[in-house]
Amino acid sequence: MSQPDTKFGEYGGQYVPEALMPAIEELTDAYRRYVLNNEAGFMDEFSERIEDFGGRPTPLQRAEQLSSRYGVDVYLKREDLLHGGAHKLNNALGQVLLAKYMGKERIIAETGAGQHGTATAMAAAHLDMPCEIYMGRRDINRQRPNVFRMRLNGAEVNPVDIGRGTLKEAISETMRDWATTVETTHYVIGSVVGPAPFPAMVRDFHAVISEEIRSQTAAKLGCLPGSVVACAGGGSNTMGAFAEFLGEDDVDLYAVEAGGSSLTVDEEAGVAPHSASLSTGEEGVLHGARTKLLQDRHGQIMESHSVSSGLDYSGVGPQLSHLVDEERVTPVDVGDDDALEAFHRLSQDEGIIPALETAHAFGFLETTLGPDGDGSVEFEEPVVVNVSGRGDKDLEAAIEETEARELENAPDMEVFE
């Protein structure tokens, strides 16, 4: 029988209150039986549902304009076309279904950008489970369309007011709910973070992304990708896009973090104006796992920043931390301005409005290969960029952030009264 991964080098583990440990043991057992060993045909049912309800497989599409702009072959893995508009449904549907197999009666989840909350609300409606979502007040205000989508799907959205009101606080608050309701409730964590077995399990539900990339590049081009590029907040779309290629040393893997407004930190205020935990973070323990974190010298967690809610997190998945230490994954960062520019470029040149999170992955191509690029990276071809989500949820924020900057490639955002 396959066994779950609980540690990745020194990273990972299970740093949670004792009250949760029995539930985590139960979940580890369910993950081993149903997911890893397909007991009761669980994975068959998951595959069928993610096809019929989710719309898999998603296309792998050549990006004509970007390929000619950058002089390299660029392909887009279109996770934005998955039901809900982001990769998040792979994991949400997988976990809600697993909760059902485990006999749980209620679903809770945190959300940053609202994409995971939306995906969880959809999956819970689809599988007829009651669902509550915790979301930071700040994120509620910058991702309002998703709040309404969650409510339309029957989920209750609980605002979290403590701290800066972003993803970190939402995760803490969801853990508190879980510590109270653990006997009946499953916590659908939204990325490859948290205590084992979550990082491995969430990765496995998203691994379908790289499995499809592998067969699609084989069928279309007769080769493996040369490079895979994905944005990384917690790192779930990242690990999903990388999973199949971890053992293929010829495939270069780039995790693009949010460089925010600057990579410096303000220790006094406990604020890092970025979310680049892989490139600048230090080892520590947060939300159940040992991983790379943005923290001050005392070990207090710093508030992160990014223009995109989904990347705005002080931690990152433990396996990604390990893969970076092993030099298997290259961490890079793209700031708010470059991400916004990339948001407009993809919209105009390829007819795809990306999520602001996803825009960071495209910003990386521009800052290295674009007309003003620094040429710092030689990409192996073909380059596959994971389009982790679509940008409909970001329109309000993108317009506001665009207006606050002088972006050369932004369209007219005038509102007609």
Partner 1 sequence: MPYLAAGDPDFESSLEYVEALAAGGADVIELGLPFSEPIAEGPTIQQAVVRSLEGGMTPERFFEFVAALDVDVPLVCMTYYNLIYQYGDEPVRSFVERAAEVGIEGVVVPDLPAEEADLLREACDEFGLDLIFIVAPTTAGDRLDRIMERVSGYVYVQARLGVTGARESLSDHTEETLARLEEYDVPKAVGFGISTGEHAASVVEAGADGVIVGSALIEIIAEGHETDDSTAAVAERIESLARELKAGAIEGGQRRPRPERT
Ligand X SMILES: Cc1ncc(COP(=O)(O)O)c(C=O)c1O
Which residue numbers are catalytic? 88, 110, 388
Per CB under 6 A, the list member of 120, 236, 275, 347 interacting with ligand X is 236
For residue 216, give the nearest of 102, 110, 331, 77 by alpha carbon.
77
Per CB under 8 A, the list member of 3, 29, 51, 162 interacting with partner 1 is 162
Q: With CB cut-offs between 5 and 8 Å by kind, which of ligand X, partner 1, none does residue 115 bind?
A: ligand X
Q: Does 200 bind partner 1 (CB under 8 A)?
A: no
Nearer to partner 1 among residue 26 and residue 73 (C-beta): 26
Q: How is residue 24 written in tokens?
A: 């985590």
Per CB under 8 A, the list member of 8, 11, 13, 191 interacting with partner 1 is 13
Task: Number of residues interacting with partner 1: please give it, by CB under 8 A.
Answer: 35
HSE-up of 198 (CA within 13 Å, CB side)? 30
Per CB under 8 A, the list member of 93, 140, 182, 232 interacting with partner 1 is 182
> What's the alpha-carbon Rg for the chain, to the nearest Å?
20
As a whole number of angstroms, the distance between CA 145 and CA 317 comes to: 27
Helices (H), 155-207: 167-181, 198-206
Q: With CB cut-offs between 5 and 8 Å by kind, which of ligand X, partner 1, none does residue 13 bind?
A: partner 1
Residues from 358 through 417 that contact ligand X (CB under 6 A) = 358, 388-389
- What letter represents residue 301's amino acid? I
Q: Does 23 bind partner 1 (CB under 8 A)?
A: yes
As a whole number of angstroms, the distance between CA 115 and CA 310 comes to: 8
CB of 139 to partner 1, least distance (A): 17
Residue 59, preceding bond cis, omega within 30 degrees? no
Per CB under 8 A, the list member of 284, 317, 318, 391 interacting with partner 1 is 284
- Specify the stretch interacting with partner 1 by CB under 8 A; choose among 179-187, 205-213, 227-235, 352-360: 179-187
- Specify the stretch interacting with partner 1 by CB under 8 A; choose among 29-37, 198-206, 207-215, 294-302: 294-302
Contacts of 381 (CB under 8 A, 6+ apart): 72, 73, 226, 227
Beta-bridge mates of residue 335: 260
**Distance of alpha carbon 346 from the chain centroid:** 19
Which position's Cβ is nearest ligand X? 389
- Go through 323-353 and write b for each residue having 16 or more CB atoms within 10 A of its CB, e for each that does not: bbbeebbbbbbbbbbbbbbbbbbbbebbebb
Q: Does 25 bind partner 1 (CB under 8 A)?
A: yes
Nearer to ligand X among residue 273 and residue 389 (C-beta): 389
Q: Does 37 bind partner 1 (CB under 8 A)?
A: no
Residue 57, preceding bond cis, omega within 30 degrees? yes
Q: Does 231 bind ligand X (CB under 6 A)?
A: yes
Residues from 244 through 273 that contact partner 1 (CB under 8 A) = 270
Q: Does 257 bind ligand X (CB under 6 A)?
A: no
**Distance of alpha carbon 30 from the chain centroid:** 23
CB of 113 to ligand X, least distance (A): 4
Task: Number of residues interacting with ligand X: please give it, by CB under 6 A.
Answer: 21
Per CB under 8 A, the list member of 8, 11, 14, 231 interacting with partner 1 is 14
Q: Does 286 bind partner 1 (CB under 8 A)?
A: yes
As a whole number of angstroms, the distance between CA 253 and CA 44 comes to: 29
Task: Please give the C-alpha separations between residue 1 and each of 7, 42, 132, in angstroms, as whole numbers.
Answer: 18, 15, 34
Q: Does 312 bind ligand X (CB under 6 A)?
A: no
Per CB under 8 A, the list member of 183, 408, 412, 417 interacting with partner 1 is 183
As a whole number of angstroms, the distance between CA 82 and CA 66 comes to: 22
Residue indicated by tokens 């496995």: 204
